[in-house]
Amino acid sequence: MKAFTQLTALVAPLDRANIDTDAIIPKQFLKSIRRAGFGPYLFDEWRYLDKGEPDMDCSQRPLNPDFILNQPQYQGAQILLTRENFGCGSSREHAPWALEDFGFRAIIAPGFADIFYNNCFKNGILPIVLSADAVDRLFKQMREGYQLTIDLQTRTITTPDGQNMDFNIDEDRRYRLLNGLDDIALSLLHADKIKAYEAERSKRAPWLFKDA
């Protein structure tokens, strides 16, 4: 998992509340568990004018020119600014896979669905909760080329005019993001202890290891 320390990046404003995971990545794309390659299907029903199916060549599909992520000024955005209850609906982990594969490293909203929020941290995305008033101020500041700087060390967001906004994050999740540790990598930090335990256990119960 890619570590997150500080990010200065273009912001894409998605001014909708209650965006569910089926909008983020529609159900027909859930057959794959590769964790990669979902970016072209992010917000599929909003980005394209035809119906998307797995393994389609999205470069040949007709784009919806009105959808924010298709507009030239937001190409390359790594921060998504959106409204309340982002990621609601079913608990598919494909949703953060698609967002990360598309290029988003952080999402700012007044609130997130719990399971989606947890899944973001497991996939290297920083979900930031700000008050509805603070998010509204950011939307009002939006202009072409609008960038924010997010510093996870100091837990601050800096606007182009130099204003700082603080955000809260659980210390364990902050540690894992700063160091790029998913669940497996976190476990492997204790690899020596795991090996020592398995070696001792194989002596106590050798019948469990005879085919290993």
pLDDT for res 188:
64
d(CA 68, CA 14): 7
| Amino acid at the residue 177 | L
Mean pLDDT taken over the chain:
92
Percent over 70 (pLDDT), the chain:
95
Q: Spell out the residues 6+ positions from residue 113 whose beta carbon is closer than 8 angstroms to its own.
A: 21, 85, 86, 87, 88, 89
pLDDT for res 67:
98
The model's pLDDT over 9-59, given as tens digits with 9 standing for 90+, comes to: 999 999 999 999 999 999 999 987 777 899 999 999 999 999 999 989 999
Q: Domain locations in the chain?
A: 6-181, 183-212
Instruction: With a cut of 60, say whether residue 77 has pLDDT above it.
Output: yes
The model's pLDDT over 184-203, given as tens digits with 9 standing for 90+, comes to: 766 666 667 777 777 677 77
**pTM of structure:** 0.88
* SS3 state of residue 177: helix
Instruction: With a cut of 60, say whether residue 212 has pLDDT above it.
Output: no
CATH topology of domain 6-181: Aconitase; domain 4 (3.20.19)
Percent over 90 (pLDDT), the chain:
78
The model's pLDDT over 114-135, given as tens digits with 9 standing for 90+, comes to: 999 999 999 999 999 999 999 9
Q: Spell out the residues 6+ positions from residue 179 whose beta carbon is closer than 8 angstroms to its own.
A: 3
pLDDT for res 65:
96
First-last CA distance in the chain: 30
Element (H, E) at 45: helix 44-47
